[in-house]
Structure 1
């Protein structure tokens, strides 16, 4: 019966033809049921309830202060289940020219969302990760919100079995063109290949910059993904 499940996996993803090691010690029934090569390994990839095939919602400015008996809204709305969220308040901008009168100062905050993926729990096995080292494809889409020249940061780490040792990492922190407003989704992607043996976890983190000035203005993100390819390129 174990051989039958192994054959199903081979037929489904052409593992043998790709040179993927398929040892007898692997629970092939579990691998087949978890289908690690066909799905996004991140939970809740669109926590704001939007997707990149539809333009981001336009910013709606009310200019209204919250009622006196209610605290101001400082956190974005969304369903963040599956993510660990945190907020970092940034200092006020002190570079205001002398003589300039400022009625309201914007308060910027980084809103971080992160997940850790256990690759073996998701259906991958030691020999695949150590010997074959399949491509690990990262993709993310963030909103060109133009709240600031830097509204998005991506940090992805491939971790060892202890969940702490960093084997490979990728960081991306693009700058926005504040003179050209298009208000679109911007794609960020990276492929990990030939990363070396020992990878067992992936830590995925993106930071989104929000601005509070009388009311909250946030930067959205959507369609975040980690996918594993049953293939291998010559990229280093």
Structure 2
């Protein structure tokens, strides 16, 4: 196929009518990269879970396991940068003089990725002029180990990876009186964000609880998808 034919194929399959499609772009490589409509995050379910099946119920052994405390879940975190923040014990609300045998200890487990939009096949004029919608989605378990168990922070960055062009934060509060143990969806659509976006920084934090045993907040289905839809400001 000629360069012009690859260009027409991209335009037709992705519905890019009206989008800037300069001749200097390698349209065969763009088509093979398929940057539009697919999840650009690597390893979106590192815990091996699927949102179409209910989260597994935590196992509660008859005898608490012995050993040092855990603050990070098991999983294959290839593609993610991870870190753990162990939180101090919360002794608020405990009357003075009360003997404490043990307290739960919480930790934040942070996972983040940076998506290079041009390396994924998108081109400058599309990002700067057409500004396609950038759709963020994530699913976390209604674990109810605390009233704040999940945080999401996504930033659209310039070419220097430090200039923040647009950002969105989600920090929900859980209803501890209503337990259904389902997946909870969070999502956001970036639209009309302006020119210059070249990277997407995706970061979410899940709270874990260690109290004789380890109880994590699970997640799955993280995604960053660029849709062939022109932004509205």
SS in 2 for 1:42: coil
Picking from 88, 92, 96, the partner of 2:85 is 88
> How far did residue 39 of structure 1 move?
1.0
Q: 2 CA distance for matches of 1:64 and 1:158? A: 48
Q: 2 CA distance for matches of 1:72 and 1:151? A: 19
> How far did residue 160 of structure 1 move?
0.2
Superposed CA offset, 1:168-200 (max 9, x none)? 000000000111111100000000000000000
Q: 1 CA distance for matches of 2:150 and 2:70? A: 21
Gaps of 5+ in 2: none
Contact preservation (8 Å) 1:66, 1:72: no
Q: 2 CA distance for matches of 1:218 and 1:121? A: 34
Gaps of 5+ in 1: none
> How far did residue 101 of structure 1 move?
4.0
Aligned residue runs from structure 1 range 29-178, under 5 A: 29-62=28-61, 64-67=63-66, 70-98=67-95, 99-178=97-176
Aligned to 1:3: 4
Superposed CA offset, 1:84-104 (max 9, x none)? 110011111020331544321
TM-score by length of 1: 0.94
Q: Structure 1's 154 and 63: CA in aligned 2 closer, same or farther, altered over 3 A?
A: farther
Contact preservation (8 Å) 2:130, 2:231: no
Which region of structure 1 is more displaced relative to structure 2, 116-125 or 50-59? 50-59
Q: 2 CA distance for matches of 1:231 and 1:54? A: 30
Q: What is the total number of aligned residue pairs between the two structures?
A: 231
> Is 2:182 the partner of 1:181?
no
